[in-house]
Amino acid sequence: MPGTEDPVSRDPAGSAVAEAAAMAVPYKLAEAYARRDIEALLSLFANIAEVTWIGTGADELRVGREQLRYQFERNIEQSEVLLFRFEWVRASATPSVGWVMAEGSMFARVGGEELDVPVRLTAVVAEEDGEWRIMQAHLSCPATGQAEGESFPTLLEAMADAVRRERPDLMQHTSPDGTVTILFTDIEDSTVATERLGDRVWVEVLREHNEIIRELNREHGGYEVKAQGDGFMLAFGSARRALLCAIEMQRAFARRNACHPEVAIRICIGLHTGEAIREADDFFGKNVILAARIADLARGGEILVSSLVKALTESAGDFHFGEERRVELKGLQGLHRIFGVAWE
Are 208 and 103 within one domain? no
Least confident of 38-52, 144-158, 298-312: 144-158
Residue 2 covered by a domain: no
Rounded Cα distance between 283 and 272, Å, is 11
- Co-location of 110 and 163 in the same domain: no
Residue 315 lies in a domain: yes
pLDDT tens sequence across 240-275? 999 999 999 999 999 999 999 999 999 999 999 987
E strand or H helix that includes residue 39: helix 38-43
160 and 278 share a domain?
Answer: yes
What is the radius of gyration, based on Cα positions, of the chain?
24
User: Do residue 241 and residue 273 come from a single domain?
Assistant: yes
Give the residue from 146, 142, 224, 218 showing the smallest Cα distance to 185: 224
Out of 90-94, 284-288, 303-307, the most confident range is: 303-307
The whole-number pLDDT of residue 57 equals 75
What pLDDT score was predicted for residue 213? 96
Residue 216, pLDDT score: 97
184 and 115 belong to one structural domain: no
Co-location of 198 and 255 in the same domain: yes
Instruction: CATH number of the domain at 278, please.
Output: 3.30.70.1230
Domain interval for residue 309:
155-340
User: What average pLDDT does the structure give for the chain?
Assistant: 86
Question: Residue 2 above 70 pLDDT?
Answer: no
- Establish if 305 belongs to a structural domain: yes
In terms of domains, do 174 and 303 share one?
A: yes
Instruction: Look at 273-282, 297-306, 319-328 and tell me which has the smallest mean pLDDT.
Output: 273-282
CA 327 to chain centre: 21
Tally of CB atoms within 10 A around 128: 15
Do 172 and 232 belong together in one domain?
yes
Q: Give which of 153, 164, 175 is closest to 283, Cα–Cα.
A: 164
Instruction: Clarify whether residues 212 and 162 are in a common domain.
Output: yes
Q: What is the CB-side half-sphere exposure of residue 13 using CA atoms within 13 A?
A: 0
Average pLDDT over residues 191-212: 88
Task: For residue 106, give Cα distances in angstroms to 72, 86, 139, 274.
Answer: 15, 9, 11, 30
- pTM over the 0.85 mark: no
Domain end call among 107, 140, 173? 140
In this prediction, residue 7 has a pLDDT band, given cuts at 50, 70 and 90, of: very low
- Whether residues 190 and 94 share a domain: the answer is no
Mean predicted confidence (pLDDT) in 221-235: 89
pLDDT value of position 100:
95
Asked if the structure places residue 145 within a domain, the reply is: no
Query: In this structure, are 272 and 245 located in the same domain?
Result: yes
In a domain, 240, yes or no: yes
pLDDT-above-90 percentage for the chain: 56
Residue 176, domain member (yes or no): yes
Cα separation of 109 and 116, whole Å?
Answer: 9
Residue 1 lies in a domain: no
Examine the pLDDT at 5 and tell me if it is beyond 90: no
pLDDT tens for residues 308-338? Answer: 999 999 988 889 999 999 988 876 778 899 9
Query: Using 50, 70 and 90 to split pLDDT, how confident is the model at 200?
Result: confident
Which position has the higher pLDDT, 115 or 73? Answer: 73
Domain boundary among 117, 140, 163: 140
Domain count, the chain: 2
What's the pLDDT at 8? 45
Q: What is the mean pLDDT of residues 1-28?
A: 70
Neighbours of 255 (CB within 10 A): 11
Could you say which of 90, 112, 140 is where a domain stops? 140
Residue 148 has pLDDT above 90, yes or no: no
Tell me, what CATH number does 41's domain have? 3.10.450.50
Claim to verify: residue 241 and residue 128 sit in the same structural domain: no
Q: Residue 258 domain-assigned?
A: yes
